[in-house]
Amino acid sequence: MTIPQTRPMILLLGPPGAGKGTQARFLHNTLAIPHVASGDLLREHRRRGTALGLAAQEFMDRGDLVPDEMVVKMVMDRLQRSDAVRGALLDGFPRSSVQASTLDALLAERGSVVQTALYLDVPTEVLVQRIAGRWLCPSCQATYPSKAHTTAAPGDGRCVDCKDLLYQRPDDRPEVVQQRLEVYLRETLPVVEHYTERGVLVRVDGGRAIDRVRATLCTSLGGAVRGHHHDRWHLYISSRLRADDVSGPWQGRTLCGRRVADRTGHRRGGEADFLSHSCRHCYQELRPRQRPILELPVRRASQQASTEQASS
Ligand code: ADP
The predicted structure's pLDDT at residue 309 = 40
pLDDT in tens, 4-47: 444 679 999 999 999 999 899 899 988 888 999 999 999 999 99
Please tell me if the CB atom of residue 15 comes closer than 6 angstroms to any atom of ligand 1.
no
When the pLDDT of each residue in the chain is averaged and rounded to a whole number, the result is 84
The predicted structure's pLDDT at residue 298 = 37
Ligand 1 mean position, distance from CA 280 (Å): 36
The predicted structure's pLDDT at residue 62 = 93
Looking from the CA of residue 93, the nearest atom of ligand 1 is 23
Residue 289 banded pLDDT, cuts 50, 70, 90: low
Residue pair 97/27 in contact by the 8 Å Cβ criterion: no
pLDDT in tens, 135-185: 888 888 788 877 655 567 888 888 888 888 988 888 888 888 889 999 999
pLDDT in tens, 58-116: 999 999 999 999 999 999 999 989 888 878 999 999 999 999 999 999 988 877 889 99
| Positions marked active-site | 20, 95, 134, 169, 180
Whole-model pTM: value is 0.84
pLDDT in tens, 179-225: 999 999 999 999 999 999 999 999 999 999 999 999 999 999 988 99
Mutation test residue for ligand 1: of 12, 65, 99, the one with most atoms within 8 Å of CB: 65
Ligand 1 mean position, distance from CA 123 (Å): 19
The predicted structure's pLDDT at residue 78 = 94
Asked whether the predicted pLDDT for residue 296 surpasses 80, the reply is: no
